[in-house]
Amino acid sequence: MKFVSFPILLLEVMLLLGLSGCAFKTVERSKNLKYTGTDLASKKERRTLNVFAPKKSSSPSNVFLFIHGGNWNSGHKGLYNFLGNRMARKEVVVVIIDYPLSPEANYNDMAIAVAKAVLWAKDNIEGYGGNPEKIFVSGHSAGGHLASLVSLRNEYFDTLGTSNPIRGTILIDAAGLDMHGYLSEKKFSEKHSYLKTFTRNPEEWKAASPLCHLHVGMPPMLIFLGERTYPWIIKGHEKFVAALRKFEPNPRYHILKHRKHVPMISQFVKSRNPRYQEIIAFMNEH
């Protein structure tokens, strides 16, 4: 299974933003802030994030930390400036992160980076007008997988010496919710990119599957699925939501009619997209 190339999405976004380039004067942007240190042993570079904040706010704002998609091996935070700008104009402080990609990193490396980004927000976001007690994580596609995994597996924060600070989780056509079931069924060759990301060990596939980590007291979730997205993503959501109902009888689960995978995120180019208000209402509720 291959996803649509994200440069296509970038082209679409650039064309649309070209029609409204002066619309973001009320937003403060801080780019390429470092949230990890350099690992001298492996010579891995520091990871960075962008912050978009409303210029004027009467009280600390909800924080929306977004994790990009790209099949775990591509994508970049800069593709999603439109999301940061639009949400900041709606009185939300937005953090959009980069994270290590496959094949140089596996899913666990990526999840650790996400946890560090969340902790950075916890420690620093007040300086940008955000409320450190109201951090919500979100992601599209592979980013949705990482958002849900880090939300559900408190071990990622335990290793950083802190409790899980995530207030809620917003999934946008998340991939990989049941990675164990998918990889067990597909039986990919050893050279497949997913086996570089998730290893060849079925026990690791379970560890990488948010489905396997649902528990009492987990952060509440708001879940969006495209009706016409990839079949394996639909199947993963069906299993995930069925299991989620054991803990939350009425999950916030919305299937968007006629939506394919990439349009599930490109819909946010439109500032009046109703998903914005649904997300903000969810954050305000929690």
CB-based contact 45:35 (threshold 8 Å): no
Q: Give the span between the Cα atoms of 15 and 55, in whole angstroms.
A: 26
- Kindly list the domain boundaries of the chain, sorted by start residue: 6-285
In the block, which residue shows the tokens 């420690």?
123
User: Binning pLDDT at 50, 70 and 90, where does residue 30 land?
Assistant: very high
Quick one: CA dihedral 188, 194, 195, 199, positive or negative?
A: negative
Going from the C-alpha of 52 to that of each of 77, 102, 143, 263, the distances in angstroms are: 12, 27, 19, 23
Is the per-residue pLDDT at 20 higher than 60? no
Going from the C-alpha of 236 to that of each of 231, 232, 241, the distances in angstroms are: 9, 6, 9
Q: What is the mean pLDDT of residues 241-245?
A: 98
User: Binning pLDDT at 50, 70 and 90, where does residue 18 land?
Assistant: very low
The pLDDT tens digits for 173-229 are 999 999 999 999 999 998 899 999 999 999 999 999 999 999 999 999 999 999 999
Provide the whole-model pTM: 0.92
Q: 6-285 adopts what CATH topology? A: Rossmann fold (3.40.50)
